[in-house]
Amino acid sequence: MKVNQAEIIISAASKKQYPKEPLPEIALAGRSNVGKSSFINRMIQRKNLARTSSKPGKTQTLNFYRINESFHFVDVPGYGYAKVSKKERAKWGKMMEEYFAEREQLRATALVIDSRHKPTEDDCLMYDYLKHFELPVMVIATKLDKIKKGQRNKQLKLINETLEMEDDDILIPFSSETGEGKELAWTTMLKYLNG
């Protein structure tokens, strides 16, 4: 997939700021610091269009990117970061609910999981939450460059089983560092965007 155009449209804190343009959307979801923003950058081959950081909590709003004039990537703040106040947690919950429960043009969500670890309870909750809205979920097992080749299959199986993934949902081994998995992620996204 060749990306000719990629630009940020808006960083939205609430739904009245969402873009009105009815382009289909792919949203990200996942723990803080797992690599959601890095996934977007790798997919569109831009180094830091979606801002990343080695510290958790970098993305704080819903960030809408328009890609090739044909769809939106929606980057979201992560969950599961301990140093977050009750008030901020509630704000996060409202932001997620407003988006995932109501956004008509949302076609699928890329749930990003750290391939080195067993999915957390929050990861399982997020998967179930997305399925509750009957949304297709592509599970992106990222940071694959950080595990030994011999460990991969075991980790992928652990992710699939822990999330209790539905048969229709696909698990994509991925690395934003090396670009592995990019082709499969594009094929899958295009299927949802065009379907």
Contact window for Mg ion (CB under 5 A) among 37-45, 116-124, 166-174, 185-193: 37-45
Tokens standing for residue 138: 């592509």
Q: Which stretch binds Mg ion (CB under 5 A): 6-14, 54-62, 88-96, 179-187?
A: 54-62
- The enclosing H or E element of 93 equals helix 86-102
Partner touching 56 among ligand GTP, Mg ion, none, CB below 5 to 8 Å by kind: ligand GTP
In this chain, which of 27, 29, 37, 74 binds Mg ion, going by CB under 5 A?
37
Query: Contact region for ligand GTP (CB under 6 A) — 15-23, 137-145, 160-168, 181-189?
Result: 137-145
Note whether 59 binds Mg ion by CB under 5 A: yes
Q: What does residue 97 show for φ and ψ, rounded to 5 degrees?
A: -60, -45
The set of long-range contacts for 182-185, using a CB threshold of 8 Å and a minimum separation of 24, is 182/42, 182/43, 185/39, 185/43, 185/110, 185/138, 185/140
Q: Strand, coil or helix: what is 174?
A: coil
Q: Is 41 in the site for Mg ion (CB under 5 A)?
A: no
Q: Does 181 bind ligand GTP (CB under 6 A)?
A: no
Indicate which of Mg ion, ligand GTP, none lies near residue 143 (CB less than 5 to 8 Å, by partner kind). Answer: ligand GTP
Question: Could you give the CA distance from residue 71 to residue 78 in angstroms, rounded to a whole number?
Answer: 22
Specify the residue, 28 or 106, whose C-beta has the smaller distance to ligand GTP: 28
Asked whether position 175 contacts ligand GTP by CB under 6 A, the answer is: yes
Applying the rule CB under 5 A, the residues between 115 and 154 that interact with Mg ion are: none
Residue 65 host element (H or E): strand 62-67
Stretch 41-100 residues interacting with ligand GTP (CB under 6 A): 52-54, 56-59, 77-78
Count of residues in the chain: 195
Per the CB < 8 A criterion, the answer to whether 161 and 127 are in contact is no
